[in-house]
Homo-oligomer: A and B are copies of this chain.
Amino acid sequence: MVVPSGQDSERALVHPGVPPLVAAQDSPLGDQLFFALTQIQHEFQASMHTALADLHLDIRQYLTLAFISDGHTPTQHDLAQILHLDPSQVVTLTKSLEAQNLLVRETVPWDRRAKALLITPEGTALYQEAAAQIAQIEEACTAALSRRDRNALKSLLHRILPLS
C-alpha cells in the first residue's frame, strides 16, 4: 500500500528522518511568511495558556479584559468582530467573565437590544496581573531581538494590521 506506484518506483529516499526542525528552515516552508507567523503564534499561545491558567483565565477571556480595560465599552457584537467569534460564542465568553465578577454586561440605554461590556475593579486588577505575565512572555518569545528590533517588529506588524 505504501509501495510507490509505477512512475515513482525508481525514485529513491534521500534523507528520510532528517531532523525536521532544521528541514523546515531550508524547505520552501521556511520562506513563507504565513508559516513563520503560525509558528511564532503557536509558541506564544502555549506560553500564554500556561501562564493564564494560574489566574483561571483562558486566552480569549484575557483578550476580552484587555479590550475593555481602558474605558472602551464595546457591545458583544463588537467583541465578536474583533476576536473573530460567532455571537453565540460571545455569550458564553462574557457570561463566564461576568460570573467571576470581572465584567458587567449592561443594556445600552439608547439601543436596548445591545449589551455593553464594562470592566469591574476586580477585572482591572486581574487584567493588570495577567498583563504583567504576558509582557514577560512577549519578552521571552522575542528574546533573540534587541529592544530596538523588538520595537521595529511591533511597528511593522502594526502597519499591516488588517483594520488599521
Contact = CB atoms under 8 A, between A and B. Distances in A.
Contact of A63 (B23, B29, B74): B29
A68 B24 CA distance: 9
Interface string A62-89: 0100111111111100110110100000
Given A33-B157, A106-B13, A116-B17, A24 B71 contact: no
A82 B21 CA distance: 7
**Chain copies in complex:** 2
Nearest to A43: B162
Interface residues of A, number: 89
A38 B104 CA distance: 26
Given A17-B74, A36-B157, 7 more contacts: A3-B106, A8-B104, A11-B118, A15-B71, A16-B116, A26-B70, A42-B84
Interface of A: 2-5, 7-8, 11, 13-18, 20-21, 23-30, 32-45, 48, 63, 66-75, 78-79, 81-82, 84, 104-109, 111, 114-116, 118, 120-121, 127, 131, 134, 138, 141-145, 149, 152-154, 156-164
